[in-house]
Amino acid sequence: LITALAGGIGAARFLTGLTQIVEADDLSVIVNTGDDIELFGLHISPDIDIITYTLAGIVDEEKGWGVRDDTFCCLKMLREFGEDTWFGLGDRDLATHLYRTERLKQGATLLQITDEVCSVLGLKSKILPMSNDRFETRIITQDGSVHFEEYFVKRRCEDDVLGVEFVGASSAEPAPGVIDAILNAELVVVCPSNPIVSIGTILSVAGVRDALKRTDARVVGVSPIVAGAPLKGPADKMLRGLGFEVSAYGVTKLYLDFLDAMVIDDRDAALKGRIEQLGLSVTVTNTVMKSLLDKISLAKIVLHS
């Protein structure tokens, strides 16, 4: 049994490789819900959808999010009505948000709805929202606090990150199955996702960090930072803004209390000794996943780290 901790695009790429070499029903993925946002009255769970669409083989691979070949007619019409349409909601993708919102109104939990969507899309792996409870990541900028997606998409990560807020973290319970997925796994993989706003959110949910420390599973991290920068997204700005070293070493230190091994990129080979001195084993390999072969090779290395 393998359990992965995942954010959005980086994790989805890695999991594409992993699902080529392990049985899909041996895999559970605990997904960040801190990016969840309400727009036009709809509950949107960007990371859950990215992982679901990717594992279902329907993601728009070029963008890394949304449904392949989607159209944007609804959004265009909303724009004509004068609405602010900074978040790209495709027509097929909107069906997921409409369904989720309707089911939430009927009293279903995020986990139940995720199960339903996965079942319709034929997914064999278990996708677990980190929590059924409201959780919202907000970024403190010079203009005040903004929702993570507003910082990320609307403001294009241009603000300096003065702080990060996890609204709801103190009361968020892990979704049913999250703690068991960590405790019952043989391997836990911390995907190459943003250590603050994708993995940090999951770690802030009650009991998750403790389960990672207690589990007998081997816990392996994959660094999302390569040669001092993330391949995509604002992880460098965030780490720097919060006073952490922007490197595979800095990421390792954030996970040190529960990690057994770390996988870092060839370009960071010089950091191997320093990370090993923290007391864990380090594998150096290509972590930049361009082709399917890159994804599979990395997954194989992680399985044997």
Residues that bind ligand FO1 (CB under 6 A): 7-9, 35, 46-47, 49-50, 65-66, 87-89, 93, 149, 152-153, 198
What is the closest distance, in whole angstroms, from the C-beta atom of residue 41 to ligand FO1 in the complex?
16
Query: What angle (nearest 5°) sits at the alpha carbon of residue 296, between those of residues 287 and 212?
Result: 70
φ, ψ of residue 265 in degrees (nearest 5): -80, 155
Residue 98 neighbours by CB under 8 Å, 6+ apart = 42
What is the closest distance, in whole angstroms, from the C-beta atom of residue 249 to ligand FO1 in the complex?
23
DSSP code, position 32 = -
Alpha helices (H) along the chain: 9-21, 46-55, 73-80, 91-105, 110-120, 148-149, 178-183, 199-204, 208-214, 235-241, 248-255, 272-276, 292-303
What is the closest distance, in whole angstroms, from the C-beta atom of residue 184 to ligand FO1 in the complex?
26
Nearer Cβ to ligand FO1 (148/258):
148
**Is the Cβ–Cβ distance between 50 and 24 less than 8 Å?**
no
Nearer Cβ to ligand FO1 (50/179):
50
**Is the Cβ–Cβ distance between 268 and 283 less than 8 Å?**
no
What is the closest distance, in whole angstroms, from the C-beta atom of residue 97 to ligand FO1 in the complex?
8
Nearer Cβ to ligand FO1 (140/153):
153
Nearer Cβ to ligand FO1 (40/87):
87
> Which residue has its beta carbon closest to ligand FO1?
8
Nearer Cβ to ligand FO1 (59/275):
59
What is the closest distance, in whole angstroms, from the C-beta atom of residue 78 to ligand FO1 in the complex?
13
Residue 184 neighbours by CB under 8 Å, 6+ apart = 1
